[in-house]
């Protein structure tokens, strides 16, 4: 990509633009890509890094939302399962089929509640039994019977379930296993979508750390958060893709709205080999005793636990609470009663706000996950329309982006010239489908670029066919692995830093890699990464120290971590439990 400075200059030299997108979460990025593919000159800005807000705090699932069937949201589920399959096919290096197993504790629960929810006469959560779950999984299969991307569901009795999951609660009667998708690094999907976009259209300009300051008449004032400089652009259309901050952005330009009624979702990531073995590479997805949906999710060699669903008024400063952690640890006992888990196993926490459509009443789990484009027409103060992208799910971002793009094209008097349904994402292009094709890839890399088989395999697993571009950029005779992170090399980091708009140290450890998420950030490790990053970005020693301090504060304040240790873990708690 061009450098950020090149793109800033390009925008300042050509401030009259067709579309300005505010917010570089997945809805903004998806719309940015779709518009660029239609040949539109489009600018996307975010006050932080790409995919650093709500889109980075998802449950890391690509899923249809099987539980929304009983709400009667058949179209939402159909769209989502179709989009799930497309993501598995279009980004096979970043989205993998995931066995999702539902432990079932009774046969008939929910039989009467499900119809009432379907009719809108009941909105409180309730536990689902075998019959309701079986019906739901059968419908789920039916919606994607033509795509055949993932296998059909399997129902197991108690004996079969316990044989597959020996640590499972002996009180279960059945398990049902269906397939959804896993995306351990949603941030990588976002970054690769942006890279694809600028390669396709030189008039597509993404800018991180640029904030919308104000708007008046035909002009929007933007502020570069790095230099402090402000400059103006004149868009024909403004797209508000700020997620949970949509209403705040609209208010900042003098158009107050109440489109968003967000709910908070929190997660834990645990380093717990026994629990990781017990789930057998399955996501365990179930209702707790209070009827709330929770999940136990495999993420590399770690386990993710989630999620909460709590109404919030302010999307800023969201962090996990001790009450949420207590709830997650307690719910684990229902499924795996003999596996001990406490706060000492926590290596990362994260929380975010779902940008759901505003709903005054009702249980949070019943609020629709559907998407909608809300339009504010020009008025005496603002001479361009504002299109707010409200709601949606990570899984269906492409479909939502298509809807938004079609509306924008109509207002610009342009026709769609490219489709995105089957468009490969980043390293999913030319992805080898067989072992033979895969071996041919590695053989050519080793032969042409002096790259070891082990290194080629690591890069391929991380970046798909983008690995070829990374390997080509590295002088392997001078490359070396990092001391603290030997699965990474200086050459790979150099590529990520130079080609993917890394501005701060935290961009690299949270979003260009998943080192922080997996609890791998240590004091010497952070110092080593800062040294490499600083040398590439020409930081002086003081700037390196400031970046280390900034990353540590984000770990502490946003994720409640002291490097890879939970700040409020009590090391004596396990021994106390044993004594009791």
Please list the helix, strand and coil fractions of the chain in percent, rounded to the nearest 5, in that order.
40, 20, 40
Helix (H, G, I), strand (E, B) or coil at 125: coil
Distance separating alpha carbons of residues 395 and 353, to the nearest angstrom: 16
Q: Strand pairing of 16-22 and 230-240?
A: parallel
Distance separating alpha carbons of residues 473 and 385, to the nearest angstrom: 43
* Model confidence pLDDT, tens digit, residues 216-236: 999 999 999 999 999 999 999
**Mean pLDDT throughout 519-535?**
98
Place 309 in a pLDDT band, splitting at 50, 70 and 90: confident
**pLDDT of 493 above 50:** yes
- Residue 339's pLDDT is 97
- Residue 197's pLDDT is 98
- Interhelix angle for 435-449 vs 466-473, to 10°? 10
CA 552 to chain centre: 22
- Residue 579's pLDDT is 34
Q: Please state the φ and ψ torsions of residue 561, each to the nearest 5 degrees.
A: -120, 140
Place 127 in a pLDDT band, splitting at 50, 70 and 90: low
Distance separating alpha carbons of residues 269 and 161, to the nearest angstrom: 25
- Residue 577's pLDDT is 38
**Mean pLDDT throughout 442-458?**
81
What's the mean per-residue pLDDT of the chain? 90
- Residue 143's pLDDT is 78
* Model confidence pLDDT, tens digit, residues 2-56: 899 999 999 999 999 999 999 999 999 999 999 999 999 999 999 999 999 999 9
Torsion of the alpha carbons at 472, 473, 479 and 481, rounded to the nearest 10: -90
Q: Which of 86-95, 399-408, 418-427, 568-577 has the lowest mean pLDDT?
A: 568-577
DSSP state, 337?
T
Helix (H, G, I), strand (E, B) or coil at 12: helix
Place 68 in a pLDDT band, splitting at 50, 70 and 90: low
Distance separating alpha carbons of residues 389 and 259, to the nearest angstrom: 9
**Mean pLDDT throughout 413-427?**
97
Q: Which of 90-104, 192-206, 566-580 has the lowest mean pLDDT?
A: 566-580
- Residue 524's pLDDT is 97
CB atoms within 10 A of CB 347: 23
Q: Please state the φ and ψ torsions of residue 383, each to the nearest 5 degrees.
A: -95, 5
Place 442 in a pLDDT band, splitting at 50, 70 and 90: confident
> Comparing C-alpha atoms, which of 7, 34, 10 is closest to residue 401?
34
- Residue 446's pLDDT is 75
- Residue 125's pLDDT is 54
Q: Which of 235-239, 376-380, 444-448 has the lowest mean pLDDT?
A: 444-448
Structure tokens that stand for 551 in this block = 């990353």
| Residue 305 neighbours by CB under 8 Å, 6+ apart | 267, 268, 269, 270, 294, 295, 296, 297, 328, 332
CA separation, residue 352 to residues 267, 314, 386 (Å): 9, 11, 25
Distance separating alpha carbons of residues 171 and 276, to the nearest angstrom: 21
- Residue 116's pLDDT is 41
**pLDDT of 72 above 80:** no
pTM for the structure as a whole: 0.93
What proportion of the chain, given as a percentage, has pLDDT over 70? 91
Spell out where 355-385 has E strands.
371-376
- Residue 274's pLDDT is 98
- Residue 126's pLDDT is 57
Using a 10 angstrom Cβ sphere, with 0-12 exposed, 13-18 middle and 19 or more buried, the burial of residue 481 is middle
**pLDDT of 570 above 70:** no
- Interhelix angle for 130-143 vs 74-90, to 10°? 60
- Residue 133's pLDDT is 86
- Residue 413's pLDDT is 97
What spatial distance separates the first Cα and last Cα of the chain, rounded to whole Å? Answer: 59
Distance separating alpha carbons of residues 14 and 20, to the nearest angstrom: 13
Distance separating alpha carbons of residues 195 and 198, to the nearest angstrom: 6
- Residue 572's pLDDT is 53
- Residue 121's pLDDT is 41
Using a 10 angstrom Cβ sphere, with 0-12 exposed, 13-18 middle and 19 or more buried, the burial of residue 476 is middle
- Residue 150's pLDDT is 83
Give the position of tokens 């559907």.
Answer: 370
The residue ranking higher by pLDDT, 549 or 360, is 549
- Residue 275's pLDDT is 98
- Residue 289's pLDDT is 77
- Residue 122's pLDDT is 45
Q: Please state the φ and ψ torsions of residue 222, each to the nearest 5 degrees.
A: -110, 150
Domains of the chain (ranges; CATH) run: 4-54+187-260+369-412 (3.50.50.60), 263-354 (3.30.9.10), 434-566 (1.10.8)
Say whether the peptide bond before residue 49 is cis (omega within 30 degrees of 0): no
Beta bridge partners of 346: 270
**pLDDT of 576 above 70:** no
């Amino acid at each position: 990509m061009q450098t950020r400075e090149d793109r800033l200059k390009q925008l300042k030299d050509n401030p009259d633009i067709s579309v300005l997108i505010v917010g570089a979460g997945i809805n903004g990025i998806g719309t940015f890509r779709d518009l660029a593919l239609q040949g539109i000159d489009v600018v996307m800005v975010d006050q932080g890094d790409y995919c650093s807000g709500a889109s980075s705090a998802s449950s890391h699932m690509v899923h249809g939302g099987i539980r929304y069937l009983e709400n009667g949201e058949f179209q939402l589920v159909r769209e989502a399962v179709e989009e799930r399959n497309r993501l598995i096919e279009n980004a096979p290096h970043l989205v993998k089929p995931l066995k999702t197993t539902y432990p079932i504790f009774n046969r008939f629960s929910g039989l009467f509640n499900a119809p009432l929810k379907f009719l809108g006469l009941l909105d409180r959560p309730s536990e689902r039994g075998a019959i309701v779950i079986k019906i739901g999984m059968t419908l789920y299969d039916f919606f994607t019977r033509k795509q055949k991307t993932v296998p059909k569901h399997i129902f197991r009795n108690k004996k079969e379930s316990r044989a597959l999951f020996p640590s499972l609660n002996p009180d279960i009667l059945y398990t049902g296993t269906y397939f959804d998708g896993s995306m351990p690094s949603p941030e990588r999907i976002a970054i690769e979508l942006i890279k694809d976009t600028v390669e396709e259209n030189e008039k597509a300009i993404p800018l991180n750390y640029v904030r919308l300051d104000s708007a008046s008449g035909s002009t929007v004032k933007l502020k570069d958060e790095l230099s402090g400089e402000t400059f103006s652009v004149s868009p024909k259309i403004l797209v508000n893709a700020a997620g949970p901050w949509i209403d705040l952005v609209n208010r900042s330009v003098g158009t107050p709205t109440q489109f968003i009624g967000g709910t908070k979702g929190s997660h834990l990531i645990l380093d717990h080999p026994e629990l990781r073995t017990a789930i057998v590479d399955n996501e365990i997805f179930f209702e707790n005793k209070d009827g709330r949906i929770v999940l136990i999710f495999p993420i590399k060699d770690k386990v993710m636990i989630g999620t909460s669903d709590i109404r919030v008024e302010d999307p800023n400063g969201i962090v996990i609470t001790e009450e949420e952690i207590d709830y997650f640890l307690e719910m684990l006992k229902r499924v795996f009663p003999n596996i001990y888990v406490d706060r000492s196993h926590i290596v990362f926490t994260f929380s975010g706000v779902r940008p759901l459509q505003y709903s005054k009443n009702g249980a949070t789990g019943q609020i629709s996950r559907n998407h909608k484009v809300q339009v504010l027409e020009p008025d005496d103060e603002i001479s361009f329309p504002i299109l707010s992208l409200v709601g949606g799910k990570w899984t269906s971002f492409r479909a939502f982006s298509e809807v938004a793009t079609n509306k924008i094209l109509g207002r610009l008097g342009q026709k769609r010239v490219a489709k995105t349904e089957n468009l490969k994402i980043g390293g999913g292009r030319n992805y080898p489908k067989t072992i033979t094709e895969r071996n041919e890839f590695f053989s050519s890399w080793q032969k042409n670029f002096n790259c070891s088989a082990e290194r080629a395999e690591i890069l391929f697993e991380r970046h798909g066919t983008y690995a070829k571009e990374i390997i080509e950029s590295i002088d392997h005779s001078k490359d070396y692995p990092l001391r603290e992170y030997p699965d990474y090399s200086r050459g790979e980091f150099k590529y990520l830093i130079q080609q993917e708009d890394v501005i701060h140290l935290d961009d690299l450890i949270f979003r260009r890699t998943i080192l922080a998420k997996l609890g791998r950030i240590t004091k010497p490790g952070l110092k080593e990464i800062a040294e490499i990053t600083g040398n590439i970005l020409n930081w002086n020693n003081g700037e390196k120290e400031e970046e280390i301090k900034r990353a540590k504060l984000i770990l502490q304040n946003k994720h409640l971590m002291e490097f890879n240790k939970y700040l409020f873990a009590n090391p004596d708690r396990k021994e106390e439990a044993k004594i009791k």
